[in-house]
Structure 1
Amino acid sequence: MKKTILISIITFIFSFCVFTLFLFPYGTIAKYFLNNAIKQNRIPVDYSQIQSSPFGTTIENIEYFYRNKLSLGTLKINYSPLILITKSVSVHTADSPLNVSAVYNGKTVNIKANQPISKIAQIFPEVGEYVKEGEVRAEGQINPANMQGKADIVISNLSVATPVFPSLNFRKITASLTLNKN
């Protein structure tokens, strides 16, 4: 008798976990929180579709409205059902003019970007008028709890057109930024 009850309880718990994992309305919840964040923060952004599962969310055809409409492509967010334990979420762009990835590990956000100037010029045409080639690489770490962070930015093989010289070439330009909340 006890064995039958124990098997029934284990079967119920297993079935509940499996069905919750695969039949939970992840897309509806992701859409609700995304739309709520956009509205509350007045972010001028639009997207065409959101797909969500227990292991990640994909937001497609993101468009940001700043002066002109900027097409930012697709954003992929990866997480696991054990997010409350692992506290780790990674985000990266796909089919986008921006090549950015970020990882949140519970305390800090690590951000990496590796971007050719030509891709930046697709978003901001003013850049393409003066900067002919180069690459921007940035890495940063931010602690959202106390709003402190640091970033290192390297611009390499930069070629700038000027009215006086045909072009100014820079092999490497570096910058370090520090964020401290006052």
Structure 2
Amino acid sequence: MTVLDIRKVGDPVLRRIAVPVTDFDAELETLVRDLTETLGASGGAGLAAPQIGVELRVFALNPALPGNELGLDHLVNPVLDFPDDEIQGGPEGCLSIPGIYLDTKRRLNVTAKGYTKHGDPVQVVGTGLLARCMQHETDHLDGILFIDRQDEQGRRRILDTLREASWFTDLPEVRVSPH
């Protein structure tokens, strides 16, 4: 079993845009296995490749998430589509920002298209927590963190909280989300 270290906020890899996967090979299979094993050990809902230092457009999902009828545990080169404008609020956290949860607005419904590690096309329709997770992980692939989705007061609050965290070393760049 390979459980890798999860990069924390402030690590530059979390702010770079991941590149699309072009080779569906043994290396990709190893990456997916590492992601799913690291996610399983962390107890999280999802984990994107940049969070383990790999700049590829891949993320792992907890296959037990409500609404995940396919039992999907990963998605390669995801593209999201939003069938409506419904919004959900609710607490959101991130394995790269441990112990911090903030109310974060996301789309309620999403359709994610991508590929399996074997290159087979797959489509996942999600709502609620599954939709939130797929948006959160796709944001990671675009160099966006959930703290970027906060209003100015929320961003200030998160920076103050980060300064007090025992694992924290450098103040992160906080961006305004383009979404």
> Does the pair score TM above 0.5?
no
Structure of greater relative contact order (alpha carbons < 8 Å, 6+ residues apart): 2
Kindly name which structure, 1 or 2, has the bigger radius of gyration based on alpha carbons. 1
Structure (1/2) with the larger strand percentage: 1
